[in-house]
Amino acid sequence: MITSAQNTKIQWVKKLSAQKKERDASGSYVIEGVRSVEEAFASGAVCRLFFYTAPLTERVRVLVSYAEEQGIPAEEITESLMKSVSDTATPQGALAVMEKSPLPIPDMVDFILLLDTIRNPGNLGTLFRTAAAAGVDLVILSPGCADPYAPKVIRSAMGGHFKVPFWEAGWAEIEAVLGRFPGLQVLAADMDGGRSCWDTDFSLPTALVIGSEADGISADALALTTGKVFIPMPGKIESLNAAMAAGILIFEVVRQRQGH
């Protein structure tokens, strides 16, 4: 059992949680919580280190057995150390260091979510989770988005990283990739102008562009769009949270394509 806060593995996990540069340099990131680790193990993603604490629940016991079977370094650590490396107030006794290994970009897509400078980690994670739930083919992150491997993003995504392909890219690369899919309509979610989402034909191959609530759609993103779409709001609120607005639009696409 690891009991010292000076242990090199403990120090490494703390660095990974706190520093993007460490995540980038090592190609690793931290996930925590029983469900998240279960999702990671079930996906077949590469795990580099697994921490757990006693007393073991049945679900954690299964995770420990799996780690040992797969040759994953598994270390029991004290409860106080788990609290010190955890990004949550009440750790669940399971934490893993995963290798960055996003799913590959599919050869054919007809539903893309393009995230334009989404800086809020909670929003970004929720967008991952929503995209995974709706069966989005690809999530693209523009320059200026929050780090998709930051602890709060990982926590909010609830395993979405293992279920939907995502790609961080510059605008020139994004334009080139969008151009690979003929007939793709690129629609910016924008309250100023455009067509109501209820009157938009989402049966066509579609890329939805979601900007931040504070900044809206950037000029770089607008240059790639073929139109705008808005959510009718009869109430007296000017705008919706980016993740909420995206959720409504994403599931309008799902509704139309399922014929409901």
Co-location of 87 and 182 in the same domain? no
Co-location of 167 and 221 in the same domain? yes
What is the rounded distance in angstroms from the CA atom of residue 144 to the CA atom of residue 136? 22
Backbone angles phi, psi at 141, to 5 degrees: -110, 120
Number of neighbouring beta carbons within 10 Å of residue 35: 13
Is 143 within a domain?
yes
Is 45 within a domain?
yes
Going by DSSP bridges, is the β-strand pair 111-116/74-76 parallel, antiparallel, or unpaired? unpaired
CATH code for position 212: 3.40.1280.10
Q: Residue 69 has what pLDDT?
A: 96
What is the rounded distance in angstroms from the CA atom of residue 101 to the CA atom of residue 97? 12
Alpha carbon dihedral 17, 18, 24, 27, in 10-degree steps, equals -20
| End-to-end C-alpha distance for the chain, whole angstroms | 55
Co-location of 218 and 116 in the same domain? yes
pLDDT tens profile 127-162? 999 999 999 999 999 999 999 999 999 999 999 999
Q: Residue 260 has what pLDDT?
A: 61
What is the rounded distance in angstroms from the CA atom of residue 87 to the CA atom of residue 3? 19
Co-location of 252 and 215 in the same domain? yes
Co-location of 92 and 115 in the same domain? no
Number of structural domains in the chain:
2
Co-location of 115 and 235 in the same domain? yes
Domain limit, last residue, from 99, 130, 164: 99
pTM to 2 decimal places? 0.93
Give mean pLDDT, residues 243-249.
Answer: 96
Q: Residue 88 has what pLDDT?
A: 83
Residue 193, pLDDT > 80, answer no
Co-location of 93 and 188 in the same domain? no
The one-letter code for the residue type at 226 is T
Co-location of 79 and 141 in the same domain? no
Q: Across the chain, what does the average pLDDT equal?
A: 94
Co-location of 132 and 252 in the same domain? yes
Left if phi > 0, otherwise alpha if psi is -120 to 50, otherwise beta: which for 194?
Answer: left
Whose tokens are 């795990």? That residue is 47
Residue 229, pLDDT > 70, answer yes
Co-location of 70 and 133 in the same domain? no
Residue 90 pLDDT grade (very low, low, confident, very high; cuts 50, 70, 90): confident
H helix intervals, the chain: 8-18, 20-26, 34-43, 58-70, 79-85, 121-134, 151-157, 171-178, 219-222, 242-258
Which residues constitute the domain of residue 74? 8-99
Co-location of 125 and 253 in the same domain? yes
